[in-house]
């Protein structure tokens, strides 16, 4: 009997990896198509963003592979750099320091200061802050569920971890990323089974607070009014969404053809970043946009299956939270680009141009795959020897990765199921 590797991906893991590969590959292609004209004018190199996106995809693939090999279940004697607690707080701490650096020496663009210039690349610490808060929330929730933290301390640590991050990101200002960060935390809490009334209280406080923040900033109110009626100011606040809708309308069912977008000729702002989905709709039509939505649907189902098949609580929270966060960001981007919600500035995961977003999102996929690899359920069919190949006395056992088994039709004397050591 040959036994497969104990750390093989589950079928859901392969589906998740396949959906990710298709989205990244399609994203590289569409970034090139959407940016080629502007790049030729600005850099005299129509492949400028293509090269950058392909390079970041390569870095992201390395991050994905490394993260997928993290055995977060392994028990270590004493302090370990690879324990979930250390990794979570390390990511949180680096992100927090990065956000402080942004406030001191950040690089501004389009009225917001969000990046740090490293010389060879620009980094947005707010992207990594989302991962740090999500991992810390998972670690704290595990400790609370296992009664290592009482409720008062749990809520205090949670507020202390998430609150400062949200405040620093809002100071950039970047309300879209703040909302996605808080949404990711809520999704982890939901997967972790916290009482529904807690989430209701959070929504009751958060929604009015968001409305207040929108009303206090004129440019945020302009986004809301342009969402409600973009034609009220078609040359200013409503210009971007109108040009996006033109792109979708021009594409029709089949699209006008790959590389043939007219909106990328300086009509549609941020065509290769936040509004790349509009270029997809123009060039590939309704069928192209449905293909993107279908890929994210496969990603969502596979990621959630990995989460709920996990026997490790931290793994379940991490995989479920990361999957929900990535898919929620995709939905927010597509809704904003199609005029179903105000523009948030959130990129389309895997597809939009942007090094921080792409590399981090691929690293997050690697963490989800780590859950599939190290704590997902995979059945190995064992055949007991009998009198012949088709003998009824041949029995089978379904052995699971945790060492247990489910037996059936042993020696032809009926059927039973059980779990063994």
Same domain, 329 and 388: no
Chain mean pLDDT for the chain: 83
Same domain, 342 and 198: yes
Same domain, 196 and 331: yes
Q: How confident is the model at residue 78 (pLDDT cuts 50, 70, 90)?
A: low
Q: Is residue 185 part of a domain?
A: yes
Query: What is the structure's pLDDT at 35?
Result: 93
Least confident of 280-284, 304-308, 373-377: 373-377
- Percent of the chain past pLDDT 70, that is, above it, reads 85
What is the rounded CA–CA span in Å between residue 58 and residue 157? 36
Tens digits of per-residue pLDDT, 172-228? 888 888 888 998 899 899 888 888 888 888 888 888 888 887 777 667 777 787 778
Question: For residue 117, is pLDDT > 60?
Answer: yes
Q: Is residue 418 part of a domain?
A: no
Question: For residue 382, is pLDDT > 50?
Answer: no
* Average pLDDT of the segment spanning 124-138: 93
What is the rounded CA–CA span in Å between residue 297 and residue 181? 21
Highest mean pLDDT, choosing among 115-124, 202-211, 282-291, 354-363:
282-291
Q: Is residue 209 part of a domain?
A: yes
Same domain, 175 and 213: yes
Same domain, 271 and 196: yes
End-to-end Cα, the chain, rounded Å: 19
Q: Is residue 230 part of a domain?
A: yes
Same domain, 276 and 395: no
Question: For residue 380, is pLDDT > 50?
Answer: no
Q: Is residue 177 part of a domain?
A: yes
Tell me how many degrees the CA angle 363-366-367 measures, rounded to the nearest 5.
95
What is the rounded CA–CA span in Å between residue 46 and residue 129? 33
Same domain, 315 and 399: no
Question: For residue 347, is pLDDT > 50?
Answer: yes
What is the rounded CA–CA span in Å between residue 65 and residue 370? 9
Same domain, 155 and 91: yes
Q: Is residue 419 part of a domain?
A: no
Q: Please, is 122 exposed, middle or buried when counting C-beta atoms within 10 Å of its C-beta (0-12, 13-18, 19+)?
A: middle
The total number of structural domains in the chain stands at 2
* Average pLDDT of the segment spanning 307-330: 92
Question: For residue 243, is pLDDT > 60?
Answer: yes
Q: Which domain holds residue 316?
A: 11-375
Query: What is the structure's pLDDT at 410?
Result: 36
Query: 239-275 in b/e burial notation, b at 16+ Cβ within 10 A?
Result: bbbbbbbbbbebbeeebbeeeebebbeebbebbbbbb
Query: What is the structure's pLDDT at 218?
Result: 67
Q: Is residue 5 part of a domain?
A: no
Query: What is the structure's pLDDT at 407?
Result: 38
Question: For residue 111, is pLDDT > 80?
Answer: no
Q: Is residue 17 part of a domain?
A: yes
């Amino acid at each position: 009997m040959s036994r497969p590797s104990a750390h093989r991906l589950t079928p859901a893991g392969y589906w998740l990896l396949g959906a990710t590969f298709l989205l990244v590959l399609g994203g590289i292609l569409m970034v090139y198509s959407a940016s080629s004209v502007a790049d030729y004018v600005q850099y005299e190199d129509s492949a400028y963003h293509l090269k950058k996106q392909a390079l970041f995809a390569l870095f992201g693939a390395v991050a994905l592979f490394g993260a997928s090999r993290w055995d977060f279940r392994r028990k270590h004697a004493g302090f370990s750099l690879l324990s979930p607690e250390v990794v979570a707080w390390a990511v949180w701490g680096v992100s927090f320091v990065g956000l402080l650096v942004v406030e001191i020496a950040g690089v501004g663009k389009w009225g917001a200061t969000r990046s740090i210039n490293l010389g060879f690349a620009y980094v947005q610490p707010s992207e990594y802050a989302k991962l740090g808060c999500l991992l810390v929330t998972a670690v704290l929730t595990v400790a609370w569920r296992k009664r290592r933290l009482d409720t008062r301390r749990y809520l205090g640590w949670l507020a202390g971890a998430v609150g400062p991050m949200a405040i620093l990101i809002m100071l950039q200002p970047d309300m879209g990323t703040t909302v996605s960060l808080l949404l990711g935390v809520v999704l982890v809490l939901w997967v972790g089974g916290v009482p529904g009334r807690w989430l209701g209280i959070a929504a009751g406080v958060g929604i009015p607070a968001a409305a207040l923040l929108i009303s206090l900033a004129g440019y945020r109110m302009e986004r809301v009014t342009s969402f409600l009626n973009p034609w009220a100011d078609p040359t200013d606040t409503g210009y971007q969404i109108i040009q996006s809708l033109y792109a979708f309308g021009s594409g029709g069912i089949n699209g006008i053809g790959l590389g043939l977008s007219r909106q990328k000729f300086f009509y549609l702002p941020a065509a290769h970043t936040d509004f790349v989905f509009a270029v997809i709709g123009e060039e590939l039509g309704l069928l192209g946009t449905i293909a993107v939505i279908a890929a994210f649907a496969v990603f969502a189902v596979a990621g959630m299956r990995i989460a709920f098949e996990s026997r490790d609580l931290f793994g379940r929270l991490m995989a479920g939270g990361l999957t929900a966060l990535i898919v929620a960001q995709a939905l927010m981007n597509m809704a904003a680009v199609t005029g179903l919600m105000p523009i948030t500035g959130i990129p389309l995961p895997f597809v939009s141009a942007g090094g921080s977003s792409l590399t981090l999102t691929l690293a997050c996929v690697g963490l989800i795959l780590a859950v599939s690899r190290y704590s997902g359920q995979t059945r190995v069919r064992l055949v007991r020897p009998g009198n012949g190949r088709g003998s009824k006395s041949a029995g089978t056992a379904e052995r699971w990765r945790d060492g247990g088994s489910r037996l059936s039709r042993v020696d032809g004397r009926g059927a039973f199921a059980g779990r063994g050591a």
